Structure 1
Amino acid sequence: MARVLVGVKRVIDYAVKIRVKPDKTGVVTDGVKHSMNPFDEIAVEEAVRLKEKKLASEIIAITCGPAQSQEALRTALAMGVDKGIHVEVSGPEYETLQPIHVSKILAKIAQNEKIDLIILGKQAIDDDSNQTAQMTSGFLDWSLATFASKIEKGEKDVTVTRDIDGGHEVVTLKLPAIVSADLRLNEPRYATLPNIMKAKKKPIQKLSPKDLGVDTTPRIKIISVEDPPTRQAGQIVPDVDTLIAKLKEKGHC
């Protein structure tokens, strides 16, 4: 049976209206509701289902971030994950933490824990990078399937149905492998009160990037974060010729 690693990230809740800081250095996070990244919830659910089918022996959830990130880990534990790893990164270091850093951390943990399968959300809804699974695959030189809408695990491989522009693509990966979860993969369960209570007794290991030999020096610099421009009111035109003429005026043709 496979040992499974899932990544979970604490992000601003999807229902919250995002506000940019007055100094344009980022978005307002203080006093704002946070929750587990929705795509990561799907990844956790898929891992738990594999264990329920006796296709996984142990599930480990990992998060990178400040002390509050443990909330996302506790949610994962309450959903059925066996243990958590919290790689503590806080302050300015967390604000500049990038997918390349997280990927290196995941790769190191996967090697240390002798992981067979990594399941990640396809992207985080705060930065929308969609890079972590791909970069982790590169660092480990493991097979990768992104945007999974179905996962079927065999004894030494995993068959993944993935969404592509033209429909669906089915690929079979030899283990160890990495899969990133898309929206259609499953419907995550709610953590029940008894399981939330049990999760408090499950172990969470604390590490730092230095413990793993990972340098978190930023590779990119954020110059400015700004609200998108206000959308202008539309115009109704009488015919196609007028539409083309107006597009040419605006420089769109």
Structure 2
Amino acid sequence: MKIRCIWEHNGNDSILYAENFIGAFTRGSSKDLAIQKMPVEIKSYLMWKGSLIPDSFEIEIVQEKQSNLTISDADSDVLFDEERKELSSFEYADLKALALKSAQDFLTLYQSIPDKDKSRVPVRTTFYGQIPRTAFEMYLHTKNVNDYYFGEIGVSTNNEGSILECRERGFAVLESQPDFLKNAVCLGSYNEEWSLRKVLRRFIWHDRIHAKAMYRMAVKTFGSHAVPNVFLFDI
């Protein structure tokens, strides 16, 4: 199976996104290291989706983005070439379902944490401030991009309720707008280009980043069998 990848990098630091596995990604201090991690990420991603896993993978770089952002902390502003294309109703339904599954699974993982304010993760600062350390901080950070992501494509919503509830509400507002499937490219904050396809990808990608961090934190803090591996990460 071919994995079509977008390579975003700042110097040697790299993020590799799988264009045909929306939301799947790897990071590394070089492109080669990110590539090496990709088959494991895709196997985990396919198991999470309940899809069959192929016998082999072939990785192809189809787009490159040189960035000035802090790639090592997963800062990103790339818009995939594919994310400029219109969406069919079937594509939208599939991607929306996956974004909602991701939100539900993130909520399930969060709710399973025995103590949501306890963490053995050390303090660290990133481009957006101090890194979330506890389950509560990780959950709040992940949930609270809802109005930001939707707002970048002109959808006015909020972050009230659970991560699943606020995401569902955002999709409902989106779907009330005419021609939303045309996938218009919008110039959002910091002159970053956004589209509906990008918002869908960013939700799943952002969930995976912080679900992986939350699961690792929980294993380190509470033990390897204390919480379910809801996303089936290979950690």
Q: TM above 0.5, one fold?
A: no
- Give the TM-score taking structure 2 as reference length: 0.27
- Give the TM-score taking structure 1 as reference length: 0.25
Q: Going by fraction, where is helix more abundant, 1 or 2?
A: 2
